[in-house]
Amino acid sequence: MATRRGDTLIFPKPPVIAAHACIGGKKEGESPLAAEFDELHSDNRLGQASWEAAETQLQLQVARLCLKKAHATEKDVSLLLAGDLQAQCTASGYAARALGLPFAGLFGACSTMAEALGVGACLCSAGMADGLLAMTSSHFCTAERQFRTPLSYGAVRTPTAQWTATAAGACLLRPAGQGVGIRAVTFGRVQDLGIRDINNMGAAMAPAAAATLLRYLTDTNTQPQKFDAICTGDLGHVGSQLFRELLAAEGLLLKNHVDCGSLLYDAEGQSVHSGASGPGCCAAVLCGHLLPRLERRGQRRVLFLATGALMSQTTFLQKESIPAISHLVELAAPEEQNGGNT
């Protein structure tokens, strides 16, 4: 069960992330976080006939690996919540077909991992799911042709452009037990400050992350310095700067902000310009980097705010501005779950 304060749901008995896994592709294998992935593929096609099928394979492999790490099987899962960036979320649909689990598809673009953890935490804490898989993926090659230009055009990337990660992450949620706790969830409201540049996702998404963070802090009457890290999804370098500026304008100076999109790649060495993006980016960084730190108690309390840009190639060509959303989950190291000030 949960207590509602404003837009924020607080779980007195936090559901837990009992196991997690992440898988990456070639560029992820050359990144500073390479050692933190559970598996890496040197071939981004994963032996499949298409990139889209490769992304389905990423999801399938990460789901099975997550279950294996939990010493669980598909029978221990009541529900799969998954999403991706492909039109009509087909990476998730085909993965769900192969997994054979009850499945509810989500779409929040790059915010989907936090959305899945948020909805999943609600269902688990209310006894409506025993084991619940929350999973997202992205693939550079499927995303670029969905949102921008076919790769074979060799379009020049602008300085604000981010590199869609070829990666997937999965978390197995349980109502209680060992694992990082999900103490609170804030579902975001769509923000749009009028950005129209499809190569500047960070700028489009920064206001959404700022709005959701401010709302969570107000709802829970908490100060940002209470957290070891406030971790946004994939604002990248440009978006992160804007995010901190937007918060500074509200009188909040964040000293503990990190961004999964900035962490994943070596921006200069890997030529990724403003950083990484994609629902697989923050899912993989969460599962490979953030959750292990919480489990080792190197960090105790972390806010995870994934951000998503809700446009399509059609709305871009129609010159619509880019709406964005950010969902927040509050994570707590295992022994911290029943204390604290929320």
Chain contacts with its own copies (rule: CB under 8 A): 1-2, 4, 7, 9, 49-50, 52-53, 78-79, 83, 85-90, 93-94, 96-97, 100-109, 115, 118-119, 122-123, 125-128, 130, 146, 186-192, 310-315, 318, 320, 323, 325, 327
The distance of closest approach from Cβ of residue 261 to its own copies in the complex, given in angstroms and rounded to an integer, is 19
Residue closer to its own copies, measured from CB, 206 or 333: 206
Report the distance separating Cα 146 and Cα 160, nearest Å: 18
The distance of closest approach from Cβ of residue 15 to its own copies in the complex, given in angstroms and rounded to an integer, is 12
Residue closer to its own copies, measured from CB, 261 or 323: 323
Report the distance separating Cα 202 and Cα 215, nearest Å: 20
The distance of closest approach from Cβ of residue 34 to its own copies in the complex, given in angstroms and rounded to an integer, is 30
For residues 165 and 286, the answer to whether their CB atoms sit within 8 Å is: no
**Among residues 116, 110, 95, which one has the least CA distance to residue 52?**
95
Report the distance separating Cα 191 and Cα 207, nearest Å: 6
φ/ψ of residue 179, rounded to 5: 140, 165
Residue closer to its own copies, measured from CB, 193 or 252: 193
Residue closer to its own copies, measured from CB, 32 or 100: 100
The distance of closest approach from Cβ of residue 105 to its own copies in the complex, given in angstroms and rounded to an integer, is 4
The distance of closest approach from Cβ of residue 55 to its own copies in the complex, given in angstroms and rounded to an integer, is 11
Residues 6+ apart with CB under 8 A from 336: 181, 300, 301
The distance of closest approach from Cβ of residue 234 to its own copies in the complex, given in angstroms and rounded to an integer, is 16
Residue closer to its own copies, measured from CB, 122 or 331: 122
Which residue in this structure is represented by tokens 């779980």? Answer: 11
Residue closer to its own copies, measured from CB, 90 or 270: 90
Residue closer to its own copies, measured from CB, 262 or 342: 342
Residues 6+ apart with CB under 8 A from 295: 179, 180, 333, 334
Residue closer to its own copies, measured from CB, 33 or 95: 95
207 Rama class: left (phi>0) / alpha (psi -120 to 50) / beta = alpha
For residues 109 and 137, the answer to whether their CB atoms sit within 8 Å is: no
SS3 33: coil
257 Rama class: left (phi>0) / alpha (psi -120 to 50) / beta = beta
The distance of closest approach from Cβ of residue 75 to its own copies in the complex, given in angstroms and rounded to an integer, is 12
The distance of closest approach from Cβ of residue 24 to its own copies in the complex, given in angstroms and rounded to an integer, is 23
**Among residues 161, 118, 123, which one has the least CA distance to residue 276?**
161
